[in-house]
Amino acid sequence: MGLANCTFEAPIYSIQEANVGQSIVRATEQDISVLDKIFRSSITGLCANDYPSSIIEPWANSVKAESRLKAIAEGKVWIGLHEGNAAGYLVAIPGEIVALFISEEYAGRGVGKRLANLGLELAGGTKQEVVVESTITAAPFYEGLGFSEISRGYFSHGDHGLEIPIVNMMRLPA
């Protein structure tokens, strides 16, 4: 996928479990092309079984790489690394996990769960409710993190004009 050969700042979070080699770093402006590759890989590879092809291609091309620069500058974008390679990314704000995408080649290796846990912490931890607009594909993943479906709808983030079905989910405070 070409996600290697990137230079990242020192990890904010580093996981030192046997054979894991994972860390999380804050994204920088230089990472926008890597974020774009992860986004496209996640949609075309992981979501293809749950969405029709008439949605997958326009969706995968719906976000300009540069559109992530504001969130990067505000420190809201995090990259999950697996053995030094960019494997996924997270955008979180108080009360919401805005985006969590994992490259197809790294799915199931724990990077998504680590990013989601960071997202929960950044969104308010156990002190407030946290919402997410989940893909149909990722809904079981979020259920495993304690989220419950509250409704169905379409993505509200972005100006792409596409109707991408999602599952609105919420995790209540502990």
Domain that holds residue 53: 13-171
Cα separation, 158 vs 166, in Å, equals: 14
In a domain, 58, yes or no: yes
Give me the residues paired with residue 170 across strands.
131, 148
| Percent of the residues in the chain that have a pLDDT greater than 70, as a whole number | 87
- Collect all residues with Cβ–Cβ distance below 8 Å to 9 and sequence separation of at least 6: 25, 26, 28
In a domain, 146, yes or no: yes
Place of tokens 């680590």: 114
pLDDT digits (tens, 9 = 90+) for 31-49: 999 999 999 999 999 999 9
DSSP 8-state symbol, 157: S
In a domain, 157, yes or no: yes
pLDDT digits (tens, 9 = 90+) for 155-169: 887 666 789 999 999
Q: What is the pTM assigned to this prediction?
A: 0.87
In a domain, 37, yes or no: yes
Is residue 16 helix, strand or coil? coil
In a domain, 142, yes or no: yes
Give how many domains the chain has, as a whole number.
Answer: 1
- Collect all residues with Cβ–Cβ distance below 8 Å to 114 and sequence separation of at least 6: 13, 15, 22, 24, 80
In a domain, 138, yes or no: yes
In a domain, 56, yes or no: yes
The closest of 120, 156, 138, 133 to 46, measured between CA atoms, is 138
What mean pLDDT is predicted for residues 109-125?
A: 94
Q: Read off the CATH number of the domain in which 29 is found.
A: 3.40.630.30
